[in-house]
Homo-oligomer: A and B are copies of this chain.
Amino acid sequence: MTITTAPIRNGVDTAQVYGTLDALKDQPDLARFEFRASNRWINGPHSRSTIHGFWGAGQEDASREAPFVVDASEPPVLFGHNEAPNPAEYLLHALAGCLTLTIVNVAAARKVELTEVTSTLAGVLDARGATGLDDSYRNGFERIRVAFSIKGDATPEKLQEIVERAKARSVVYDIVSNPVPVDVVTEVR
């Protein structure tokens, strides 16, 4: 009798993951991804992004019937009305989501069943930077602290190693930790 391993682990279809890796080895042009967002100012610090299509795996994605719509704003102390989280908080959310899904994918590939992954993130900054009051402070976060709590059917060492591997492979961790060139062009209407 053959025992077949269940291919879904941590909600990840591991057969699909290995199939994708094989396809990328054979056709490296499938690895090109372009993600997008469109934004429109509403009032004060309040704006709204629309997120829909992207290019990836050799084609324009058509899996999303409707766009995602997400707002950003500021609390009153930063001149808004709490219409939505602020951009720096969304950046922490992006980092949390990316590290978490990378942990989950790495664990699935290493045959580890996770039962819990939670994290708390904090980013500190001195507003004298962004306000232009004192250029000895940077505009953005001086540093970000991430605290993970993780539970699964593996030794503590293996679970720690999975988090380390996720750090080494996370898209957003790389973007935040290292410089990304940003080209801004402006059309005046």
Contact = CB atoms under 8 A, between A and B. Distances in A.
Q: How many copies does the complex hold?
A: 2
Contact of A173 (B132, B143, B182, B185): B182
A184 B148 contact: yes
Nearest to A122: B36
A108 B123 CA distance: 27
A87 B148 contact: no
Interface residues of A, number: 131
Contacts of A25: 133
Interface string A52-63: 001011000101
Contact of A63 (B77, B98, B151, B189): B77
Contact of A89 (B10, B37, B132, B151): B37
16 contacts: A10-B44, A11-B43, A28-B134, A39-B100, A47-B117, A70-B85, A70-B93, A79-B105, A87-B94, A91-B91, A95-B182, A102-B130, A138-B178, A139-B170, A147-B184, A173-B182
